[in-house]
A and B are shown apart, each in its own frame.
Chain A
Amino acid sequence: GESVGLHLPTLSVQEGDNSIINCAYSNSASDYFIWYKQESGKGPQFIIDIRSNMDKRQGQRVTVLLNKTVKHLSLQIAATQPGDSAVYFCAENMAAAGNKLTFGGGTRVLVKP
């Protein structure tokens, strides 16, 4: 099928290594910041979110860091696996706007065996 990330920045990582994906956001009023994973031919899949009053949140093999001073969000994936190959998007969410999402530019992650 067609690739979602034809012209996106690409991160190549060796299987088993850690991955770090970065995102800059624009709206200081956002309530939540969310990472989505999108595989080719599929819709975005929720990975993890972080409330705007937090600076770190951990999930299973993933950690999200939020730096409000420089409006920067990152997703760390531990022990990257072939199934992690996908395009990753950060998104902002404002409850006052009905929880609609504003997506940032994506990053394609390619895991090399």
Chain B
Amino acid sequence: GAGVSQSPRYKVAKRGQDVALRCDPISGHVSLFWYQQALGQGPEFLTYFQNEAQLDKSGLPSDRFFAERPEGSVSTLKIQRTQQEDSAVYLCASSRTGGTEAFFGQGTRLTVV
């Protein structure tokens, strides 16, 4: 497809379980972003990659959150020992170098029970 693809669309995890969320950006897009969106709120920045380099991870809420983009394309957001407050929609976005228009995927809705 031509857009940003995220999988899975929905994930239910038991508290304490580890999860991995995948993002396939638009081909050729250098920049990749992860955002967290709580219900009824705007997305909040988590982390940013330029190619395979993670240039900003200031938004990651704790050391349980880890993101990687080893080959500069697909990215994975991993959350270890999930807690209820991690329940949210996790959005991935990609953009061209220097581009202001970020293209978002549909998100992964994570529910921790």
Residues of A within 8 A of B (CB): 2, 4-8, 31-32, 34, 41-46, 49, 89, 91, 93, 95, 97-106
Whether the Cβ atoms of A8 and B40 lie closer than 8 Å is: yes
With A34-B100, A101-B45 already in contact, 20 other A-B pairs whose C-beta atoms are closer than 8 Å? A2-B39, A4-B37, A6-B39, A43-B4, A43-B105, A43-B106, A43-B107, A91-B42, A95-B98, A97-B56, A98-B55, A98-B56, A99-B98, A99-B99, A99-B102, A100-B33, A100-B45, A104-B42, A105-B42, A106-B42
Whether the Cβ atoms of B39 and A44 lie closer than 8 Å is: no
Q: How far is the CB of A51 from chain B (nearest CB, A)?
A: 9
Whether the Cβ atoms of A98 and B44 lie closer than 8 Å is: no
Query: Scoring B residues 33 to 49 as 1 if CB is less than 8 Å from chain A, else 0, what string do you get?
Result: 10101011111110010
Label chain A's interface by main secondary structure: loop
Whether the Cβ atoms of A5 and B105 lie closer than 8 Å is: no
Residue of A nearest to B91 (CB): A43
